[in-house]
């Protein structure tokens, strides 16, 4: 079926716990926009409130209907019934859940079988399932074949089969193409230069909210040690900090305690790809991952990704081809990764940037939307 020619307009509900700055949330917004552009009727149900949604609220297509459910803290049992009522009233053809959305949609599985339920596993299956109650709901959904599972990388598919004993449908994440706008690039350039202690140092950017999985403390320690050993690096963190301004979280506090003048926090940015573009490389030293949107963003602007061998990154980045892959996730592993890149010739780095840019074709948002429509129809 050619999904560019719309035969039947579908009513599609996408369910996400919240719209904070994150990869899964970023992908769901892009998917909703892609589906309405194909002519479908899309409702985005957000389990929490719409507080602190950042830039995402402005990026949602105006044709997408957004419904916040204002979930209470902890396990909100009333939400099971409120969500069921909302889904029943909407009379959808497809209900597509993400993260904990699968748990609260459980009662809705009793709706007529014509309603197709899909769930995307955005991480390693066990990591995403979390605590026992959440895992129980997922086992039930997949065992009774009421919910079609989608995995986002070869690694997440492998972990899904190991945990649930059945296959998912592999659909890679995608990200819309981004046309670099000169004033955005100039702003990024000026901001990074104004903060740099060493104007001639290599610029490394990390784009992710501060969290245990992203392993930013190890990256910061590696950069501090390398500067002390005579390898000039300026490191820029872009994304939400953990904790609050009044009470900083443990990761931000730990990095600040290093007292390294070559480490900078820029906060969340609406156009992070401009910062990738003016940096020497993008580094994501995660301990675990699904298929990070930021690596796709790096490909889209021809930035060189420096990554650890976890999750989907093992398949996305070919070592010494379209980026570099470390041996592991320790501080020493990350130091070795950064040194490898610094010691490459400029010609070799340029070849790697070209290969990175070519890799984007595999992970375009258009491809992702088309693949989802195949299983939705």
Contacting residues for 12 by C-beta, under 8 A, at least 6 apart: 35, 40, 41, 42, 43, 92, 93, 94, 96, 376
Q: At what angle do helices 216-228 and 331-342 cross, to 10 degrees?
A: 60
As beta bridge partners, residue 264 has: 236
Which tens digit of pLDDT belongs to each residue from 12-39? 999 999 887 788 999 999 999 999 999 9
In this structure, are 282 and 354 located in the same domain? yes
> Taking residues 145-159, what's their average pLDDT?
93
- CA 17 from chain centre, in angstroms, equals 14
Look up the domain containing 244 and give its range.
182-362
In this structure, are 193 and 262 located in the same domain? yes
Say whether 319 sits in a helix, a strand or coil.
strand
Looking at the structure of the chain, the number of domains it has is 2
User: Is residue 374 in some structural domain?
Assistant: no
**Residue 3 pLDDT more than 50?**
no
Q: Cα(62)–Cα(55) distance, rounded to whole angstroms?
A: 14
Entry pTM: 0.88
Q: Cα(376)–Cα(228) distance, rounded to whole angstroms?
A: 54
Domain end, chosen from 147, 170, 193, is at: 170
User: Is residue 375 in some structural domain?
Assistant: no
Match 């070209």 to its residue by tokens. 354
- CA 367 from chain centre, in angstroms, equals 17
In this structure, are 237 and 276 located in the same domain? yes
Higher pLDDT, 150 or 55: 150
User: Is residue 107 in some structural domain?
Assistant: yes
User: Is residue 1 in some structural domain?
Assistant: no
In this structure, are 188 and 165 located in the same domain? no
Domain end, chosen from 116, 144, 170, is at: 170
Whichever domain contains 76, its CATH number is 3.40.50.2000
User: Is residue 25 in some structural domain?
Assistant: yes
> What tokens were used for 223?
């950069």
- In terms of phi and psi (left: phi > 0; alpha: psi -120 to 50; beta: otherwise), the region of 156 is alpha
In this structure, are 163 and 207 located in the same domain? no
User: Is residue 195 in some structural domain?
Assistant: yes
Which pLDDT band holds residue 2 (cuts at 50, 70, 90)?
very low
In this structure, are 219 and 346 located in the same domain? yes
In this structure, are 163 and 247 located in the same domain? no
Which pLDDT band holds residue 113 (cuts at 50, 70, 90)?
confident
Say whether 256 sits in a helix, a strand or coil.
helix
- CA 324 from chain centre, in angstroms, equals 20
In this structure, are 203 and 337 located in the same domain? yes
Which pLDDT band holds residue 55 (cuts at 50, 70, 90)?
low
Which tens digit of pLDDT belongs to each residue from 220-276? 999 999 999 999 999 999 998 887 777 889 999 999 999 999 999 999 898 999 999
**How crowded is residue 320: how many other Cβ atoms within 10 Å of its Cβ?**
13
- CA 150 from chain centre, in angstroms, equals 15
User: Is residue 207 in some structural domain?
Assistant: yes
Q: Cα(281)–Cα(279) distance, rounded to whole angstroms?
A: 5
Instruction: Calculate what percentage of the chain has a pLDDT beyond 90.
Output: 79
Q: Specify the pLDDT at position 182.
A: 93
In this structure, are 306 and 190 located in the same domain? yes
As beta bridge partners, residue 14 has: 44, 96
In this structure, are 150 and 106 located in the same domain? yes
**CA angle (103, 213, 149) in 5-degree steps:** 35
Domain end, chosen from 136, 170, 204, is at: 170
Instruction: Calculate what percentage of the chain has a pLDDT beyond 70.
Output: 97
Cβ–Cβ < 8 Å for 29, 17 = no
> Taking residues 182-205, what's their average pLDDT?
95
**DSSP letter string, 339-363:** HHHHTS-HHHHHHHHHHHHHHGGGG
Contacting residues for 366 by C-beta, under 8 A, at least 6 apart: 34, 174
In this structure, are 195 and 134 located in the same domain? no
Q: Specify the pLDDT at position 53.
A: 64
Residue of 175, 83, 155, 138 lying closest to 310 (CA atoms): 155
**Residue 52 pLDDT more than 70?**
no
In this structure, are 187 and 138 located in the same domain? no
User: Is residue 2 in some structural domain?
Assistant: no
């Amino acid at each position: 079926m050619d999904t560019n020619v719309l035969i039947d307009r579908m009513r599609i509900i996408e369910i996400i716990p919240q719209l904070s700055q994150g990869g899964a949330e970023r992908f769901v917004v892009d998917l909703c926009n892609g589906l309405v552009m194909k002519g479908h009727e899309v409702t985005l149900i957000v389990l929490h409130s719409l507080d602190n949604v950042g830039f995402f609220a402005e990026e949602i297509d105006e044709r997408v209907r957004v419904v916040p459910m204002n979930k209470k803290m902890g396990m909100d049992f009333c939400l099971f019934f409120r969500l069921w009522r909302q889904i029943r009233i909407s009379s959808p053809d497809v209900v597509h859940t993400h993260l904990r959305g699968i748990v609260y949609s459980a009662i809705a599985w009793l709706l007529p079988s014509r309603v197709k339920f899909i769930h995307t596993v955005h991480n390693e299956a066990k990591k995403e399932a979390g605590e026992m109650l959440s895992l129980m709901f997922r086992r039930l959904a997949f065992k009774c074949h009421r919910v079609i599972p989608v995995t986002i990388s070869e690694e997440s598919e492998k972990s899904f089969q190991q945990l649930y004993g059945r296959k998912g449908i592999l659909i890679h994440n995608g990200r819309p193409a981004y046309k670099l706008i000169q004033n955005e690039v100039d702003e990024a350039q000026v901001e990074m230069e104004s903060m740099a202690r060493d104007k001639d140092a290599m610029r490394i950017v990390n784009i992710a909210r501060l969290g245990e999985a992203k392993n930013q403390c190890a990256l910061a320690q590696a950069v501090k040690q390398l500067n002390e050993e005579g390898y000039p690096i300026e490191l820029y963190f872009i994304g939400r900090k953990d904790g609050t301004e009044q009470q900083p979280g443990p990761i931000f506090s730990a990095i600040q305690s290093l007292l390294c003048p070559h480490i900078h926090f820029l906060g969340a940015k609406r156009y992070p790809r401009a910062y990738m573009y003016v940096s020497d490389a993008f580094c994501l030293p995660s301990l675990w991952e699904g298929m990070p949107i930021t690596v796709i963003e790096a490909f889209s602007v021809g930035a060189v990704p420096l990554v650890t061998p976890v999750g989907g990154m093992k398949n996305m980045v070919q070592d010494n081809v379209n980026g570099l892959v470390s041996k592991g996730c320790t501080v020493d592993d990350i130091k070795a990764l950064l040194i490898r890149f610094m010691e490459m010739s400029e010609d070799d780095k340029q070849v790697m940037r070209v290969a990175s840019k070519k890799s984007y074709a595999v992970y375009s948002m258009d491809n992702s939307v088309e693949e989802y429509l195949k299983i939705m129809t």
